[in-house]
Amino acid sequence: MHSPQQLIENLLQGTGIGINGPEPWDMTVHDERTYSRILGQASLGLGEAFMEGWWDCRALDEFFFRILRKRLDKRLPFNLSAFLQVLKARLFNQQTRSRSKIVALRHYDIGNELYRHMLDKRMIYSCAYWAGAETLDEAQEHKLDLICRKLKLETGMRLLDIGCGWGGLAQFAAEKYRVSVTGVTISEQQAIIARRATEGLPVNIRLLDYRDLHEQFDRIVSVGMFEHVGYKNYRTFMQTAGENLADDGIFLLHTIGGIESVKNTDAWIDQYIFPNSMVPSAEQITGAIKGVFILEDWHNFGLDYDRTCMAWLKNFNRSWPELSNRYDDAFYRMWTYYLNMCAASFRVKKNQLWQIVLTKPGRLAGYRSVR
């Protein structure tokens, strides 16, 4: 009978990853229980063992790239915890009004200082657009301007920002394109910063669930929020956006997209980073917009998210001496694991980044794509 270590070594064959080897993407195992934990809990066990210091890797992004390229995450033995997570996602709506606030409390509200150190000067927590940019600040400015140009913003328009984060897009659109902006978020900490960032501008930041919106806007945008909506609510989200958009309006959806249709997320990500989240597929999105919107443009620049995550990781590591007064070593290991895993998922194209432009059937004007 093979030992747990031998079983893991057999699984790793063909990935180029060794155990206690010389390559920067090799696993350095400090605790022999690591192997059994991975076999018993799959992704959750692998991540928790890393957080607890049972194993290390000098180049985690390259480790995950090799794991995901060979789809090793699909080859691990059956484990009960993962099965129960899938079952729960299928049976229950994990993103009801009350449950939707869980991710705000456990991720976005864990400290504005963390995000201020990690992100760009506008605190944009979504994929940057690196074409022609050298720095993260430049790449995020390029992304914000790209969104505004795709929305065809004009002076005096009313813009709704669903999931407005720390207010960076609302501030940019109000300053550069002279529109009035209503931003909604369910994160109290984000709302505090967003209101401060947009003070003196025609911007209204509301602590509100998107399902409670009943107004009319010339343009609607949602950046990095759709990943928290959940497949049971995709149709509701689209219908809500449609009801709040003027007949001749434009809606831009900026979201991570997956190559497969799923109904739950990675077990470790669900437990420690984004509770109740899931990445939509193209099939799920097109199904949700049927009869509500017309697809005008679909732009994929997922590889830019790899570079964005690595820029965030660099900022996080550089700022850790200051942040370590507020967070412990387990948090440091968790956060570096998260950013490296995400970067690799885009590098291998398991995840993509989509900007989708939608209009209502009643809009007769043509739409020319912007890049």
Task: Kindly list the catalytic residues.
Answer: 342
Give one DSSP letter per residue of 17-63, joined into a string: --BS-SSTTSBEES-THHHHHHHHHHHHHHHHHHHTTSEE-S-HHHH
55-56 vs 28-29, strand pairing mode: antiparallel
pLDDT tens digits for 42-62?
999 999 999 999 999 999 999
All structural domains of the chain, each given as residue ranges with its CATH number in brackets, are 4-78 (no CATH), 101-359 (3.40.50.150)
pLDDT tens digits for 174-224?
999 999 999 999 998 899 999 999 999 999 999 999 999 999 999 999 999
pLDDT tens digits for 133-184?
999 999 999 999 999 999 999 999 999 999 999 999 999 999 999 999 999 9
Cα angle: 71, vertex 312, 323; to 5 degrees: 120
pLDDT tens digits for 95-123?
555 554 555 555 666 778 999 999 999 99
pLDDT tens digits for 234-257?
999 999 999 999 999 999 999 999
Q: How many CB atoms are closer than 10 A to CB 194?
A: 27
Continuous segment of H or E residues that includes residue 299: strand 294-300
Which value, in Å, is the radius of gyration of the alpha carbons in the chain? 21
